[in-house]
Amino acid sequence: MTVVTIKQSAVKTVEIYLSTDIEADGPIPGPHSMLSLASVALSSDGTVLGEFSANLESLDDATMHPRVAAWWQTEPAAWRACRENLRAPALVMADYLRWIQSLKGRPVFVAMPAGFDFLFVYWYFIRFLGESPFGHSALDMKSFAMALLGSEFRKAGKSAFPKAWQTSLPHTHIALEDAREQGESFIAMLQASRARPKFS
C-alpha cells in the first residue's frame, strides 16, 4: 500500500474529489477480483490533497475472465505493477476508508466510467466493511462531459474532449497513474463548468 498525504483542507463541508481507477480481472466483482485500487484526492482548484494506492489479493473462489486474461497479456508492465505487494482485500479497504476519513472534506467518487470502477469499490466496501463512505453516489465524467458539451452521451468520450480538458499524462493501466491522468481532466472540466453562466 502507498499512502502519500500532501495537503489537506481544513473545512469539512468542502467537497473533495477522489479521482479513482481500479484494475480487475473480470467485468463484475464476486466472480472476479479487483486487482488494484487508486485514488487521487483533489480540491476544486486542482490541488492534490493526497494519494492512495494498493494491490489486492484475488478473492477466494474467484476466477479471471477469459477475455480479460487475453487483454492482460497485451499489458505485461501493467500486469506486473498490479501484482506487486499484494494485501488482503479486507485490510486494503479498511486502510482506504481510514484514508478517506482523514481528508478534511466530503468525498466525491469520480471515475470514467463510474459505472465500472464504482461497482467494484462499492461492492468491496460493503462486502468487507459493511459501509461505503460514498453512499450510493458516484460522479461519472462521461455524463459530466455530455452536459458540458451539449452532446449525445455516446459522443461524449475522451476523443471528444476539447484540448483544454486533455492532459499530457499517459494512460498506462496502472491504477495510480490513470487516476492522476483522469483527475487532471476532471479538474479542467470542473473549472470550465464553473466559468459558465449560472441558471437562476
Of the pLDDT bands very low, low, confident and very high (cuts 50, 70, 90), residue 32 is very high
pLDDT confidence bin for 120, thresholds 50/70/90: very high
Q: Is the pLDDT assigned to residue 20 strictly greater than 50?
A: yes
**Per-residue exposure over 22-41, b if at least 16 CB sit within 10 Å of its own CB, e if not:** bbbbbeebeebbbbbbbbbb
* CATH fold label, 2-193: Nucleotidyltransferase; domain 5 (3.30.420)
Is residue 89 a contact partner of residue 124, using CB atoms and an 8 Å limit?
yes
pLDDT attached to residue 200: 61
- Say what percent of the chain tops pLDDT 70: 93
Each residue's pLDDT tens digit, 51-100: 999 999 999 999 999 999 999 999 999 999 999 999 999 999 999 999 99
Flag whether pLDDT at 2 surpasses 60. Answer: no
What per-residue confidence (pLDDT) applies to 194? 86
* pTM score, whole prediction: 0.90
pLDDT at 119 over 80: yes
Mean pLDDT of the chain: 92
pLDDT category of residue 195 using cuts at 50, 70 and 90: confident
Can you tell me the mean pLDDT for 116-143?
Answer: 97
Phi/psi at 113 (5° precision) = -90, 135
Q: Rounded distance, CA 78 to CA 188, Å?
A: 27
Cα dihedral value 98, 103, 105, 107, nearest 10: -60
Residue 144 has pLDDT above 90, yes or no: yes
Q: Which residues does 159 contact at the CB level (< 8 Å), separation at least 6?
A: none
What angle (nearest 5°) sits at the alpha carbon of residue 125, between those of residues 120 and 127? Answer: 90
User: Strand, helix or coil at 159?
Assistant: helix
Instruction: Report, as an integer, the average pLDDT of 13-19.
Output: 94
Mean pLDDT lowest among 15-24, 37-46, 159-168: 159-168
